[in-house]
Amino acid sequence: MSNRQVQAYFLLVIILLTVVTLTIFNYKSSKEFVQETVKKENRLLLDNFTDETNKFSNERVAELELIADYIALLKTEEDIVQFLKNQREKMPFFSSLGFITPEGEVLAGDGSRFKVNQQESFDRALQGELVFSELFPYYQDSTQLVSAVRIPVFQDGNIIGVLSGVFNMGNLVGAIASDSNLPGTLYLFRENQVIFSNSNHDFETAVPNGSQVLSQINAMGQGTIIIDENKAHYVMYQHTSGGWTFVVDSYKEKTVQQISSIFWRNTMIVVLAIIFLCSILYYLKRNEQREENMLKRDLLTNLPNRVVLEERLKKGLNPQNFKRFTLYFINLDRFKDINERNGYQLGDRVLFETSRKIQAFAGKNELYRVGGDEFVLLVPAHSEEELRTRGLELVKLMEVPIELSSTESMWVTFSVGIRKSQLGDWPDLMMQDATFAVQEAKKQGGNRFVFFSQELANQNERVRLIANNVVHALANNEFFMVYQPVYDLSTKNITSYEALLRWKSPTIGQVSPVEFIPLLEESDLIIPVGKWILRQVTAQLNRWEAEGHEDFQVAVNISVRQMMHPDFLHDVKSIIHEANISAQRLIFEITETVAVQNSELANQILTELNNLGVKTALDDFGTGYSSLSILKILPIQQLKVDRSFIVKMELEEDKSLVILQGILDIARNLGMTTVMEGVETLEQLDLLKNMGAQKIQGFLISQAVVAELAIELRKQTWLH
């Protein structure tokens, strides 16, 4: 899992935790708000009714005290009854008013007489106390439970009776409640009896453990009992003067639904957030899988790529479940030329059609595309004869040209390297060995297969050894220069030398330039090594000048990568200036590849060199692209004909002679000097003289030697 994916998952987890945390906080705060609102509203309700009840009691007591004072002034019982009747009509709060004689007879305001109820409260009033009686059935209507305020009546300091005001507190509270919007259920208690309730349910049914709650209410003056916090169910109570107790039950279905709605609403937010984040996770996972597939699939051919192959090889080479198999490394011949000549779009079409052919051939076997023009086919282990047959079939697969369109086709060939697995192998080793077998097939001309062998293994080991050591050769001063003379046939003198790089490794020994020069040119090492060569050559020229040797030139091979480097011209000028030599003593040899890669830039650089005084030569002419148009495109003064023409001249005679004669004539007519490379016999020399060759280079004159021996060759007398 990549860092980007880990960061994305971490961010999503943080978002989820944030949403859940905020949602929980919102739920709790909303729930607490509802709970506090319920408490506040019901507490306000309780306080209002308690205050009203206390106010009512105090006002009634004050009124009765005034009436008692007036009764003390009346003379007869008839006067008292008439007075109470008049007062009753003015005071609807009282169900009745009565005067109780010391003997316990009640003179009611309606004229009736009866025996006093609640003897205890009457006796206490006769003793001078202001008393609220306990509940008792109303004399005129026994279905009503009423209470009485009893006040002693004084005359000349003596109690002459008791004034009793009977009232129904339940009716009074009900009247107030009917005009109010009650947030909860209101109960009025007296002596554990419910006097009033605005609900049809009794207290013990409506409130869980009602009896226990009532006991707790009776034990305390006021307070709040939590029944169910999650439902905002509370019981609030408060005692008043006169022995009354108000109780508010806050439970309401609407409140429960509101809290439940808050819970489900917040739950829904969390669920939606989880669904949303899961969708993002699913999307990210699909993207990961798609990216993983892209990393493991070749976009052009949709074949598994090198990553998948390495995984497969690791698994297949695991000693615990090792099974022998064979790896076919398939590489298209000269595919780079196809790209450069026809463009990358056509190259991609060639690769696609080629992959289809190989897929059809592979069948159920595993096929991978591991590089630009490289494929790997894995097949189960078979006999060597069967593997050879399959290799031959692979090569013959391309005998039919690839159809790129209805009017366009192209011939393509394969080089195939075959490597059989062995216990103890590892993926990199198998791929390296198979690659080396492919390279050997290409060396043999391509369009063939080669089995990896121990001999190739030894060669491969040497290549690896050279590649590992050449990196340090420059720093360790292991390179040195040799010089091969170029002989002028007309003057019979050595007129120039070609400076050649040699390497003697303390580990490997003398290494052929064929082995290490390509490694330098494939990497950026050719840039510092090229500068080192130029410094060595110019320094040697300076030493030769000091010794009096000035009438010859030295040719230096310049690689494409070195020449195309942006600092090349600047480095050349600096090195020539440092060595204090004339630029005219240098010849820079380039190959035809320069013109193919970037003819315009090459022309510009070579012109700059000519202006500086450096002559330019086209080396190895006749190999590679061998286009005569190069002679017209590039500003060169010397043409070096590759030694392969000498070999072909002896084998093919007439045809090669005609071609070589044509090259010499064209060069002469263009004003170029020709140098024939690889001249080794007098017969070759005589033939070239007759054809008009100007200069020769080869073992007939001398092989490449160190500077001290090279300069001695000029002192010899030449008869050629």
Single-letter residue type at 428: D
Of 182-191, 514-523, 569-578, minimum mean pLDDT range: 182-191
Helix or strand (DSSP H, E) at 378 = strand 374-380
353-398: pLDDT as tens digits: 889 999 998 888 889 998 889 999 999 888 888 999 999 998 888 8
In this prediction, residue 652 carries a pLDDT of 60
CA 485 to CA 699: how far, in whole Å? 9
Ramachandran angles phi, psi of 236, nearest 5°: -110, 140
**Torsion angle, alpha carbons of 458, 464, 467, 468, to 10:** -120
pLDDT of residue 566: 92
DSSP symbol at 717: P
Specify the pLDDT at position 539: 96
- The pLDDT assigned to 202 comes to 80
Residue 518, sorted as left (phi over 0), alpha (psi -120 to 50) or beta, turns out to be: alpha
pLDDT classification of 156: cutoffs 50, 70, 90: confident
**Which helix H or strand E contains 609, and what residues bound it?**
helix 593-612
Range of lowest pLDDT (212-221, 414-423, 525-534): 212-221
Q: How far apart are CA 25 and CA 31, in angstroms?
A: 10
**Greater pLDDT, 710 or 45:** 710
DSSP E strand boundaries for 579-666: 586-590, 615-621, 638-641
Max CA distance (Å), the chain = 184
Can you say whether residue 310 is alpha, beta or left, with left for phi > 0 and alpha for psi between -120 and 50 degrees?
Answer: alpha
As beta bridge partners, residue 235 has: 225, 249
Q: How confident is the model at residue 229 (pLDDT cuts 50, 70, 90)?
A: confident
| Average pLDDT rounded to a whole number, residues 607-624 | 89
Q: Give the CA distances from residue 425 to residues 314, 545, 617, in Å, rounded to whole numbers and listed in that order.
A: 9, 59, 49
Spatial distance between the Cα atoms of 344 and 248, rounded to a whole number of angstroms: 89
Give, as one character, the DSSP assignment of residue 263: H
Residue 653: which pLDDT band, with cuts at 50, 70 and 90?
A: low
Cβ distance 720 to 685 under 8 Å? yes
For the whole model, what pTM was predicted?
0.52
CA dist 3 → 6, 7, 8, 11, 452 (Å):
5, 6, 9, 12, 41
**Position 699 pLDDT exceeds 60:** yes
517 or 171: which leads in pLDDT: 517
- CA dist list (Å): 22 to 14, 192, 267: 12, 47, 12
User: Shortest CA distance to 502 belongs to which of 515, 491, 513, 488?
Assistant: 513
Distance of CA 349 to the CA centre of its chain: 33
CA distances from 468 to 471, 508, 571 (A): 6, 11, 28
Task: Write down the pLDDT at residue 1.
Answer: 58
Mean pLDDT of the region 645-651: 74
Bridge partners of 479, per DSSP, are 503
**Of 464, 447, 455, nearest in space to 412 by CA:** 447
CA dist., res. 219 & res. 154, Å (int): 37
Rounded Cα distance between 160 and 440, Å, is 143
Q: Residue 473 — pLDDT band, cuts 50, 70, 90?
A: very high
How far apart are the C-alpha atoms of 152 and 594, rounded to whole Å? 135
CA distance 70 to 81: 12
> What string of DSSP letters covers 23-53?
HHHHHHHHHHHHHHHHHHHHHHHHHHHHHHH
Q: Exposed (0-12), middle (13-18) or buried (19+): which is 222, by Cβ within 10 Å?
A: middle
Do the Cβ atoms of 358 and 397 come closer than 8 Å? yes
Quickly count: other Cβ atoms within 10 Å of residue 239's Cβ: 16
Tokens of 89: 């009509």
Task: Give the three-state DSSP class for 369.
Answer: strand
Query: Is the pLDDT score of 7 beyond 80?
Result: no
- How confident is the model at residue 267, as a pLDDT? 86
pLDDT digits (tens, 9 = 90+) for 85-125: 888 888 878 888 899 999 989 888 888 888 888 888 888 98
Output the CA torsion sign for 290, 291, 296, 301.
Answer: positive
**pLDDT tens profile 236-295:** 888 887 788 888 888 887 877 888 888 888 888 888 888 888 888 888 888 877 777 777
Selection from 482, 346, 494, 331 nearest residue 413 by Cα: 331
Residue 712, phi then psi, degrees to nearest 5: -70, -25
pLDDT higher at 546 or 256: 546
End-to-end C-alpha distance for the chain, whole angstroms: 74
Q: How far apart, in whole angstroms, are the C-alpha atoms of residue 401 and residue 394?
A: 14
Q: What single DSSP character describes residue 705?
A: B
Question: What would the CATH number be for the domain defined by 467-715?
Answer: 3.20.20.450
Q: What is the model's pLDDT at position 295? A: 77
Query: 409 falls in which pLDDT band (50, 70, 90)?
Result: confident
Structure tokens of 565? 């480097």
**Amino acid at position 42, single letter:** N
DSSP H helix total and E strand total for the chain: 23, 28
**Other CB atoms within 10 A of residue 282 CB:** 10
pLDDT for the residue numbered 594: 73
Q: In what order do the strands lie in the sheet with 233-239?
A: 193-197, 185-190, 245-249, 233-239, 222-228
- Mean pLDDT computed over 638-661: 80
pLDDT above 90 for 140: no
Spatial contact of 486 and 495, defined as CB atoms under 8 Å apart: yes
Locate 326 and state its tokens: 């064979």
- Please give the mean pLDDT across all residues of the chain: 87
% of the chain beyond a pLDDT of 90: 32
- Beta strands at 695-697 and 374-380: parallel, antiparallel or unpaired: unpaired
Q: Is the confidence at residue 714, as pLDDT, over 60?
A: yes
Q: Residues 4-21: what's their mean pLDDT?
A: 81
Residue 577 — pLDDT band, cuts 50, 70, 90? very high
With DSSP H G I counted as helix, E B as strand and the rest as coil, what are the percentages for the chain, rounded to 5? 50, 20, 25
Q: pLDDT tier at 624 (50, 70, 90 boundaries)?
A: low
SS3 for 277-340 is: HHHHHHHHHHHHHHHHHHHHECCCCCCECHHHHHHHHHHHHCHHHCCCEEEEEEEECCHHHHHH
Assess contact for 6 and 209: CB atoms under 8 A: no
Phi first, then psi: give them for residue 559, nearest 5 degrees: -80, 160
Minimum mean pLDDT among 147-156, 208-217, 423-432, 527-536: which range?
Answer: 208-217
- If residue 173 lies in a helix (H) or strand (E), which one and from where to where? helix 169-178
Instruction: Show the tokens assigned to 636.
Output: 């060169």
User: What pLDDT score does 495 carry?
Assistant: 95
Superfamily of domain 306-452: Reverse transcriptase/Diguanylate cyclase domain (3.30.70.270)
Cβ atoms of 246 and 264 within 8 Å: the answer is no
Domain positions in the chain are 306-452, 467-715
The beta-strand segments (E) located in 568-652 are 586-590, 615-621, 638-641
Task: Return the SS3 of 112.
Answer: coil
Domains 306-452 and 467-715 share a fold: no
Average pLDDT over residues 490-494: 93
